[in-house]
Amino acid sequence: MTSDTKRPRALWPYAIGLAALALMSMLIGKYPVAPTDLLHATLGWIWGASPTDATVNTVIWSVRFPRILAALGIGASLAAAGATFQGLFRNPLVSPDILGVSSGASLGAVLGIFLSLPVIVIQAASFVGGLLAVGAVYAIGSAIRHRDPVLTLVLAGVAVGAVVGAGISLIKILADPYDQLPAITYWLLGSLTSVTRGDIFSILPALAIGLVPLFLFRWRINLMTLGDEEAKTLGIDTRRLRLILIASATLITAASVSISGVIGWVGLVIPHIARMLVGPDFRRLLPTSMVLGAAFLLIVDILARSIAQIEVPLGILTAALGAPFFIWLLASGRRGWQ
Amino acid sequence: MKLTATNLSFGYGHGLIGEAVDITINGGVTCLLGPNGAGKTTLFKTMLGLLTPSHGTVTLDEKPLTNWRREDLARAVAYVPQAHAVLFPFTVRDVVLMGRAARVPAFAAPSRSDIAIADACLDRLGLSHLADRPYTEISGGERQIALIARALAQEPSILIMDEPTASLDYGNQLRVLSHVRTLASQGISVVLSTHNPEHALLCADRVALFHERRIIAIGAPGDVLTAAAIKQLYGVDVVIGRLPGSAAATIAPVPFDKEIHNGP
């Protein structure tokens, strides 16, 4: 057996595979785009030449390109957040929703749809809702002393999630069943159909701010998996590190969910696969999870826009693919945890 | 370095587990002896600053623990918890490397020299052959020794070990105690808890008896560990004597029919 610490395995084969997949997905969809079209459009964009076919150009640059970027970015973000939370909460069954970020974001978006607000405001409301929900959970968790801080956070998350869920249900009942309710339902299942380049630019700062600390503390996160007291005796200021990690993972999740709606299972299943491939060391687990998460959501999004006459919501597909896979993981014993 | 508890009362919430504890750790091997559930672990956690004392203070080099940064504290005092399961299958080397956290810059990963130190610690404890094995797949005894290696990687002056021999088989118990002696001879002050008085006789320079929330005696093993003291702690009658060729005195129960059936 080789030493994991001394010889980190290379990530570039995954990255190349991902790039090829992204390129290929530019060609897949309702409107036929040939590889030569893609080549022409790209060359045209580089040299600023007028496009040969305006429709093809629009499909490539305004529809598929932002959509693929969003799938890559959101898949990577959800997987990164999931890997972080699984380490932080010492539980492989944890997903980025553990502290209520998705339910908070949902309440914000659902409220926005109910009040018929503009799309950009709905997205902002969703983002703020996600941050507020986790903020409330963290505040409650910190106020309760003399208990295991990690367990307290999880339980506070359950309680806040229930209250937020009640709010969402209330709005669904009050919403217009012909116009608003379908929009709400669709949002709660996640979709990249209407993502624009503007949306992607609007969440980039949040993704960057959230991902940087995860990379900076990539080794120290390993120590958090030992539990609060043990990490403290090894010299970690666990309160501060936990706050930083929760804030970072929440930021990237809330930003992602704000433009895509709720996409489940990515943040739960992908870190497992990554752990099976490269082991639990967060230095390799984080980048591997991100590449796999990006690839997974890209594939799911290709399916979403090509398997049926209508667009299939992503949440339906991620659950339909993710859950059986997860059961297989449990049954096969190929688990990266005890 | 000197770790001192002064008039220390401690416990969880309202219930006191220990009170008026005075103890100073400054060299040698100190063995904290007490029955199961007496509060030895709670005392250690309080002395590590993991629990806030109800009363009294803990100081390291005369400075209260609350004024120490976690990182600086971890460079001085290392803790060996009871061998436990780690959730994710880190290699043994990765687990030992975690002991370097207080000496690795915040945003960095362990350097080559950190890895060399971790490997040297494994080597000192005769665990090198397990370095690349998942920590989750080695035996309980091996885990306990790996945790000692991790504590050594902290390069501490003081080592606090919580029942390091609990749940180990006979051979591993003696092996761990012999490591304890070696570490003390290398200048590390060791404090360990045990509920087995023979272990105190085997490795301690000093024994503290923890009974009914207080330290009732502290001193050289030969002075403190009397048959009367063991009767008080555990409610059983024993004889203490030395076998020809043994390193330390041995404790043997008196014949069962005289004692156990009557109860303490």
Task: Kindly report, residue by residue over A178-200, the tens digit of the pLDDT.
Answer: 999 999 998 999 999 889 999 99
- Helices A266-278 and A65-88: crossing angle, nearest 10°? 70
- Candidates A91, A223, A226, A234: best to mutate against B (most CBs of B within 10 A) is A234
Q: Which of residues 139 through 178 in chain A touch B, CB cutoff 8 A?
A: 146
Report how far Cα B126 is from the mean position of its chain's Cα atoms. 20
DSSP B108: -
Cβ pair A127, A254 in contact under 8 A? yes
B117 touches A: beta carbon within 8 Å: no
User: Global pTM?
Assistant: 0.91
Write the secondary structure of chain A as one string of H (helix), E (strand) and C (coil).
Answer: CCCCCCCCCCCHHHHHHHHHHHHHHCCCCCCCCCHHHHHHHHHHHHHCCCCCCHHHHHHHHHHHHHHHHHHHHHHHHHHHHHHHHHHHCCCCCCCHHHHCHHHHHHHHHHHHHHCCCCHHHHHHHHHHHHHHHHHHHHHHHHHCCCCCHHHHHHHHHHHHHHHHHHHHHHHHHHCCCCCHHHHHHHHHHCCCCCCCHHHHHHHHHHHHHHHHHHHHCCCHHHHHCCCHHHHHHCCCCHHHHHHHHHHHHHHHHHHHHHHHCCCCCHHHHHHHHHHHHHCCCHHHHHHHHHHHHHHHHHHHHHHHHHCCCCCCCHHHHHHHHHHHHHHHHHHHCCCCCC
- Please report residues of A whose CB lies closer than 8 A to that of B97: 5
| pLDDT bucket at A7, cuts 50 / 70 / 90 | very low
* Domain B3-225 CATH class label: alpha beta
Q: In chain B, what residues touch A234 (CB-CB under 8 Å)? A: 74, 98-99, 101-102, 150, 154
The candidate with the shortest Cα–Cα distance to A276, out of A288, A291, A264, A290, is: A288
Nearest CA of chain A to the CA of B240: how many Å? 37
Tell me the HSE value of A140 on the side-chain side, using a 13 A CA sphere: 19
Per CATH, the architecture of A12-332 is what? Answer: Orthogonal Bundle (1.10)
Per-residue pLDDT band for A225 (boundaries 50, 70, 90) equals very high
The C-alpha atoms of residue A226 and residue B95 are separated, in whole angstroms, by 10
Asked if B124 has any chain A CB less than 8 Å from its own CB, the reply is no
Confidence check: pLDDT of A221 > 90: yes
pLDDT above 50: residue A3: no
Indicate the DSSP class of residue B132.
T
Question: Do B213 and B18 form a contact (C-beta atoms < 8 A)?
Answer: yes
Q: Does B106 sit within 8 Å of A216, measured CB to CB? A: yes
Q: Does B133 reach chain A within 8 Å, measured CB to CB?
A: yes
| Strand B3-12 versus strand B15-25 pairing type | antiparallel
Question: B128-158: per-residue pLDDT in tens?
Answer: 999 999 999 998 889 999 999 999 999 999 9
Q: Mark the ranges of chain B whose per-residue pLDDT is less than 70.
A: 256-264
Amino acid identity, position A82: G
Percent of chain B with pLDDT over 90: 78
Q: Which pLDDT belongs to residue B147?
A: 95
In this predicted structure, which of A81-85, A88-92, A181-185 has the lowest mean pLDDT? A88-92
For residues A146 and B157, give the distance between their C-alpha atoms in angstroms, rounded to a whole number.
29
Q: Are B29 and B13 in contact (CB under 8 A)?
A: no
- Return the structure tokens found at B111: 């350097």
Q: What is the ipTM of this complex?
A: 0.92
Beta pairing partners, B32: B193, B208
- Could you tell me where in chain B the CATH 3.40.50.300 domains are found? 3-225
Q: Check if B166 contacts A (Cβ < 8 Å).
A: no
Q: Which residues of B touch A88 (CB under 8 A)?
A: none
Is the pLDDT score of A4 beyond 60?
Answer: no
Asked if A234 lies within 8 A of B101 by C-beta distance, the reply is: yes
pLDDT at A338 over 90: no
